Chains A and B, each alone.
Chain A
Amino acid sequence: MSTGNTGIKGNKWLLAATLLVYLFLYIPLLVVMLFSFNDSRLNAEWVGFTLKWYTQLLDNADMLRAALNSLIIASVSALLSGTLGTLAGVAMHRFRQKWLSALVLGPVAMPDILIGVSLLLMFMLFNVTLGATSIILAHVSFSIGFVALAVQSRMSGMDDSLLEAARDLGASPWQSFRLITLPLLLPGIIAGMMMAFTLSIDDFVVTFFTAGVGSNTLPLEIYSMVKIAVTPEVNAVSTLLMLLTLVLITALSRFSPQSLRS
């Protein structure tokens, strides 16, 4: 680890290396944003400022439909994985079984392509027509783990005596769940659902395998555009997407800063 070693010899080197890595992280994205305002077909040199790629985008019916698809799919899968993930998280907390957490967290650790391919096989086996439904089911299956994690971490910080007190005071199990457990878990659930939303809107690989005709999502649309040619229109969509994610992340960090890190 030569970099680390020289870094220890002088903190200046360490700082310089850090700075370089940060530049490496940000320059590519800045290039994309910059060229989205460039008045030239080629993403090569700066010609002049323009907004025409953004206006062109608004006229692109395929792109708009894909964006709408993405939003619908992400919302539905956030809701579904929010519900199922909460149940999974509660169950993981109650019954500390190894296989249970392995089952829920497995998809989190698997490479995307394997999830995509195996889901495709399963959908074919059960004769599920590929389309929005299959995409949603696929997204839910990899989002559940994230929601469950958020809920579980919230649960382990919960005071069990509250539930016991509620029972002593005559609350039914449903009442104590609804009035105590659920409100306490809510920040975790919301954070998990937002995570599921972002994952879904961002996902390319799993969607690629489970999408059918006419159910293009935004990443798929970008992929097919990029595959053909590099155009500033793609820069414009990308910039908009980055802004959207930024807004979502800011909202997410309001609810639970820790969940950003996992």
Chain B
Amino acid sequence: MYLLVFFALPSLMMLFASFRYPGDYGGLAPWYFLEDGKVTIELTLENWQRLFESSIYLSLLLKSVGFALLTTAICALMAYPLALTIARSPKKHRDLLLLLVILPFWSNFLVRIYAWMIIFSPQGGLTQVINQLGALLGLEPLNLMFSSTAVITCLVYVHLPFMVLPLYANLEKHDRALLDAAQDLGASRAQRFWLITWPLSLPGLYAGAVLVFIPSLGIFAIPDLLGGTNGIMIGNVIKQQFVEARDWPFGSVLSLVLTAITLLLVLMAGRLGRTPGVLK
């Protein structure tokens, strides 16, 4: 009897496994053949050829990877001092400080992009101030809206908590006794940081990097709204293939490439021994 009830569960699991498997991973493959109808497989290859023939897509892919890497690096640079401060502050303050990091992250994604649209708009305060300063130095007025700078700033803004949280989780566990021992043995502040805190924090940093890199690679809304023509990323092209051009097979090719990159990264991160952290 007991077994029966819990036998029902795995079969239920299988049921929505069958529902989600095609949805999330394999959905592309069967559709692929249907889309190309009765045509031979050679036609299928053409979509792949298109990817490699024209350098536009490959360079765009490279550019997106570059954007995502830059975002990850800036996030790390900003998150590190923050996570360190939180981890070293008194216990009763930690939860509040962490909550303050997460709170903006819970406001709607579009609202957060929209906020930057206001800030970067040509009439906005930031642009005005920069241009007035630039005018003093004899520089051309610059427009921040629809630029790569705008896209990357917003990418950093949206993904910062993903870097802070794993870093904090890691830094918080560090044993203070190690630092004290190093100090007793005559290590300077910088030495203590580079020889103890930094190497110990690397797993947290890797986890955060994956959590920032993966979503920023596939993003389309931010470049769509802030990037103009200069700032488009691979996500925009995927969206464009599906929504505007309706070229689903080619969109699928691009999505598959993105999936492959993502899976590769997750596997690499898993290799670094932090799979559970990554999946969270």
Q: Which residues of A contact B (CB under 8 A)?
A: 1-5, 7-9, 14-15, 17-18, 21-22, 24-26, 28-29, 31-32, 35, 42-45, 84, 87-88, 90-91, 94-95, 100-101, 103, 105-115, 117-122, 124-125, 141, 144, 149, 167, 172-174, 177, 198, 202-205, 208-209, 219, 222-223, 226-227, 230, 234-235, 238, 241-242, 245-246, 249, 253, 257, 260-262
Contact = CB atoms under 8 A, between A and B. Distances in A.
Contact of B84 (A2, A4, A26, A35): A4
6 contacts: A1-B77, A3-B78, A43-B121, A101-B279, A111-B214, A122-B31
B85 A14 contact: yes
Which of A108, A249, A261 has the most C-beta atoms of chain B within 10 angstroms of its own C-beta? A261
A173 B1 contact: yes
Interface in B16-46: 16-17, 19-25, 27-28, 30-31, 34
B104 A26 contact: yes
B123 A43 contact: yes
B5 to A, nearest CB: 4
Interface stretch (B53-61, B136-144, B252-260): B252-260
B110 A204 contact: yes
Given A43-B121, A84-B16, A113-B218, A118 B112 contact: no
Interface in B76-108: 76-82, 84-86, 95, 98-104, 106-108
Contacts, number: 258
B160 A25 contact: yes
Contact of A118 (B6, B24, B100): B24
Contact of A230 (B118, B278, B279): B118
The contact size tier of chain B is 35 or more
B157 A109 contact: no
Nearest to A222: B110
Contact of A14 (B10, B84, B243): B84
Nearest to B106: A245
Nearest to B105: A25
B119 A109 contact: no
A242 B111 contact: yes
A222 B117 CA distance: 13
Contacts of A227: 225
Contact of B119 (A5, A31, A84, A113): A31
Contacts of A241: 107-108, 111
B106 A226 contact: no
| Nearest 5 pairs of A and B residues by beta carbon | A111-B218, A28-B115, A44-B123, A17-B81, A8-B193
Contacts of A198: 106
A202 B84 CA distance: 30
